[in-house]
A and B are shown apart, each in its own frame.
Chain A
Amino acid sequence: MNLVWKLLRQHISKSQLTGFFVANLAGMFIVLLSVQVYSDLRPLFSGGESFLNKDYLILTKKINAFTSLAGNGSIFTPEEIEEIRRQSFVRKANGFTPSAFGVTAGIRMGGRGFATEMFFESVPDEYVDVNTTSWKFDATDRVIPIIIPRNYLNLYNFGFAQARNLPKLSEKIIGSMPLEVELRGEGKRQHFEGRIVGFSDRLNTILVPQQFMDWANQTFAPEKTIGFSRLIVEAGNPADPHIVHYFKGKNYETEDGKLDAGKTMWFLNMLTSSVIAVGLIICALSLYILMLSIYLLLQKNNVKLQNLLLIGYRTTQIARPYQNLTLVLNGIVFCIAMIAVFIMRHYYTNWLKEIWPDFTSGSTGFLFGMGVALFLLVSLLNITAIRVKINKL
Chain B
Amino acid sequence: MKEISLSQIVPEVFSQREKKESGIWYREVAFTKGEVCLLEAVSGAGKSSLCSYLYGYRSDYQGTICFDGENIRNFSKTQWAELRRVSLSILFQELRLFQELTAWENILIKNNLTGYKTLQWIENCFYLLGIEDKKDVTVAKLSFGQQQRIAFVRALCQPFDFVFLDEPVSHLDINNNRILGELLAEEVKQQGAGVIVTSIGNPLNIKYDKIMQL
Which A residues form the contact surface with B (CB < 8 A)?
3-4, 6-7, 10, 304, 306-315, 391
Contact = CB atoms under 8 A, between A and B. Distances in A.
B117 to A, nearest CB: 14
Contacts of B112: 3
7 contacts: A3-B105, A6-B105, A304-B98, A306-B57, A311-B96, A312-B158, A314-B78
B101 A315 contact: no
Interface string B140-158: 0000000000000010001
A310 B88 CA distance: 10
Given A3-B105, A391-B77, A313 B98 contact: no
Given A10-B100, A306-B57, A315-B78, 19 more contacts: A3-B108, A3-B109, A6-B100, A6-B101, A304-B98, A307-B96, A309-B57, A309-B80, A310-B84, A310-B92, A311-B154, A312-B84, A312-B110, A312-B113, A312-B158, A313-B113, A314-B81, A315-B77, A315-B81
Contacts of B77: 309, 314-315, 391
A313 B81 contact: yes
What DSSP secondary structure best describes chain A's contact surface? helix
Nearest to A303: B96
Q: How large is the interface on B (under 10, 10 to 19, 20 to 34, 35 or more residues)?
A: 20 to 34
Contacts of A313: 81, 113
B67 interface: no
Contacts of B78: 314-315
Interface string B84-125: 110000101000101011000100111011100000000000
Contacts of A4: 109
B61 interface: no
Contacts of B84: 310-312
Given A3-B101, A6-B101, A304-B98, A309 B81 contact: yes
A87 to B, nearest CB: 78
B31 interface: no
- Residue in B78, B81, B84 whose Cβ sees the most chain A Cβ within 10 Å: B81
A310 B113 contact: no
